[in-house]
A and B are shown apart, each in its own frame.
Chain A
Amino acid sequence: ETGVTQSPTHLIKTRGQQVTLRCSSQSGHNTVSWYQQALGQGPQFIFQYYREEENGRGNFPPRFSGLQFPNYSSELNVNALELDDSALYLCASSFIMNTEAFFGQGTRLTVV
């Protein structure tokens, strides 16, 4: 088991609503990355946070936003939810980028 924990584990939201997902990084890790994994696909990079600043972003619209806190935990916020946002959202922590990245168990988001 990694020390990366995510909450909640499952969530159902209605199209148009907003959602906040949370991640606690592994002890000693200062970098958190968020990924979206659609069913049957590999994870897709959303963005990364390092020392509370966004440090790179994948091909996701601005309604996907995030935060990192001084204790290195992180939030992923998604506004104006769409049906296609239904996926497993994964958080990965590492000491710095380009090093071992360990994933949490994910949050399964269903948009109806």
Chain B
Amino acid sequence: GESVGLHLPTLSVQEGDNSIINCAYSNSASDYFIWYKQESGKGPQFIIDIRSNMDKRQGQRVTVLLNKTVKHLSLQIAATQPGDSAVYFCAENIDTGNQFYFGTGTSLTVIP
């Protein structure tokens, strides 16, 4: 079953501030993680990924941090913009398996 969960179901931030979305996982065999952004009525959009041999990865305005000791993943969005408003999911792949496990998501609202 799913082992991925998110700490907060909703998050509101002011435009221009940084956002941090957290995700907990329980399976120590998880070795690959992807953050997805899903806007209303659309499919999940790939944001950034990280493998378990890394603890940090940066993209454009986004950073993913992985703490394997406490089985925690976070997505940091710098200078949050209204277009960042969406539901964010972390997805977990266990032991090079063939499926991703998703949590229920965090809804991010950016206040102009």
Contact = CB atoms under 8 A, between A and B. Distances in A.
Contacts of B99: 33, 45, 48, 56, 58
Interface stretch (A11-19, A35-43, A67-75): A35-43
B43 A42 contact: no
Nearest to A1: B45
Question: Which range holds the interface residue count of chain B?
Answer: 20 to 34
A58 to B, nearest CB: 6
A90 interface: yes
- Do most interface residues of chain A lie in helix, strand or loop, or is the interface mixed? loop
Interface residues of A, number: 27
Interface in B66-112: 89, 91, 93, 96-105
Interface string B1-45: 110100000000000000000000000000110101000001111
Interface of B: 1-2, 4, 31-32, 34, 36, 42-46, 49, 89, 91, 93, 96-105
Interface of A: 2, 4, 6, 33, 35, 40-45, 48, 50, 55-56, 58-59, 90, 97-98, 100-106
Given A33-B100, A48-B98, A101-B34, 20 more contacts: A2-B43, A42-B91, A42-B105, A43-B89, A43-B91, A44-B102, A48-B99, A50-B98, A56-B99, A58-B99, A90-B44, A97-B98, A98-B32, A98-B93, A100-B46, A101-B100, A103-B36, A103-B43, A103-B45, A103-B46
A-B interface, 4 closest residue pairs, ranked by CB to CB distance from nearest: A42-B102, A56-B98, A45-B99, A103-B43
